[in-house]
Amino acid sequence: MPPTLLSLPSKLLQAIADQVSFEHDLNALTQSHPRLDEILTPYIRARKDRQERSKLLIFAIKSSKPPQLSQLLLRDGADPTVRVEMEQGKTALHFAAETGQTVVARVLLAHQRSLLDIRDGIGQTPLMCAAKGGHEAVVRTLRSTKYGPADVALRDCKKRSALWYAAHGGNVTIVQMLLDTGKIDPKCADFDGLTPFACAAREGHSLYGHAEVVQLLLATGKVQLNARDRSGMTPLMWAAKCRRIPVVKLLLSTGQVQVDFDLRELRKGASLFGLREESDLPLLELLNAYKRDNS
């Protein structure tokens, strides 16, 4: 005789209840038989309590409440793997990492070490969030052997690594920490073909850029100076486009970059680079001098 719903073991009944999405359906299930009510009602109530505590845990971290509150909620059954779907599926550790809450990150990892490389809805890990936010202490925590270390080679859905985000933000210390692992390839490009090196050459202060990060990546001897991204741009072209003169000087000082784009385009008001002629004379002189010396 095939098993009936009432003859199933308690654990299997609870697993079935976990697949029921709507509360009125759960109520109908529990009220259909005294045995189901006896087994499922306490289970559903406990599950609901856990869900509420899990929501409170996320709220506490997003509101930068004291770490003791997170510790208390975890002890009372909050689930740190719960995701906030409206915020790209982030977990408690993602929020702690992106806001620089080092102690909270340690509390979460001490409770559940498997959170370390958990991905959100766009493939980002807590390490990527910390690198993007420039939170050095959180990066150190995630990279410590006590909790991991976190995998630095992972990339998100745009193929961006923690190093890519650190280079984008110009954080020299985090870039150095990640390079020191020896487990990350600075040539790894994102979906658009933009490497951490090209990203550092493009981004940063309107006058200075991320020259220190560019220098640091250059020193690895592993970057491709003339690699083009999917839009056909090289690191030098990006630095010139964005008028990062210190970065341009740094790249030209290698003697290995190609200035094979039409410099006349730089002089046009509606040029490829969108530069203004008067303020760009020093840049044009640099590029022209390099081109003459290396022709």
CATH code, domain carrying 225: 1.25.40.20
**Would 169 be classed as within a structural domain?**
yes
For 111-119, the CB contacts below 8 A with 24+ separation are 111/74, 111/80, 112/80, 112/81, 113/147, 113/148, 115/80, 115/81, 115/91, 116/142, 116/147, 116/148, 116/150, 117/148, 117/150, 117/151, 117/154, 118/81, 118/91, 118/93, 118/94, 119/154, 119/156
**Would 2 be classed as within a structural domain?**
no
**Would 223 be classed as within a structural domain?**
yes
More confident site: 280 or 83 = 83
Q: Does the pLDDT of residue 23 top 80, yes or no?
A: no
- Whole-angstrom Cα distance, residue 236 to residue 67? 45
Q: Which residues contact 87 (CB under 8 A, 6 or more apart)?
A: none
Number of domains in the chain: 1
Do the Cβ atoms of 38 and 63 come closer than 8 Å? no
Q: What is the mean pLDDT of residues 271-289?
A: 70
- Whole-angstrom Cα distance, residue 73 to residue 42? 20
Do the Cβ atoms of 264 and 256 come closer than 8 Å? no
**Would 113 be classed as within a structural domain?**
no
Specify the pLDDT at position 270: 36
Confidence of residue 293 (pLDDT cuts 50, 70, 90): confident
Do the Cβ atoms of 171 and 131 come closer than 8 Å? yes
Residue at 227: amino acid letter? A
**Would 31 be classed as within a structural domain?**
no
Q: Which residues pair with 90 in a beta bridge?
A: 84
pTM of the model: 0.83
- The encoded tokens of residue 27 equal 């109520």
Q: What is the mean pLDDT of residues 17-46?
A: 77
Q: What is the extent of the structural domain holding 253? A: 153-294
**Would 90 be classed as within a structural domain?**
no
**Would 84 be classed as within a structural domain?**
no
